[in-house]
Amino acid sequence: MTTTTMTRGYVIIWVWLLCLMTLSLFASSLPVSRAAIVTLMFVVAAVKAVLVALHFMHLKLEKWLIYAIAIIPVLLVLGLMVALFPDFVLAR
């Protein structure tokens, strides 16, 4: 892989991250329920985390063992998201 190809890939991922950040910022002005907005923001945050992990941390080049090790924290985060979801949606 040449330096130009690698730089181009980083720039493309950076632009995607900017677009997703903009979507998160303007999500609260969407005419949908609060639960839908919170769900959208969680999904966008997860997509951004995957993009950063795979491309900037170079995890897409790793063997299967690194993915097996990463499953435990991902499951913990998913569990916390499910547990805290009612606090975000039903907060007064």
Determine the average pLDDT of the residues in 33-47.
89
pLDDT score for 1: 56
What phi, psi does 57 have (nearest 5°)? -95, 0
- Confidence (pLDDT) at 9: 83
Residue 28 DSSP class:
G
For the record, the structure tokens of 21 come out as 């950040």
80, amino acid identity: L
Q: What angle do CA 28, 31, 35 make, to 5 degrees?
A: 65
Query: What confidence score (pLDDT) does residue 71 get?
Result: 80
Percent above pLDDT 90 for the chain: 26
Question: 49-77: per-residue pLDDT in tens?
Answer: 888 888 877 777 777 777 777 788 888 98
pLDDT in the model for residue 12: 92
- Provide the mean pLDDT of the chain: 83
C-alpha 47/C-alpha 76 separation (Å) is 17
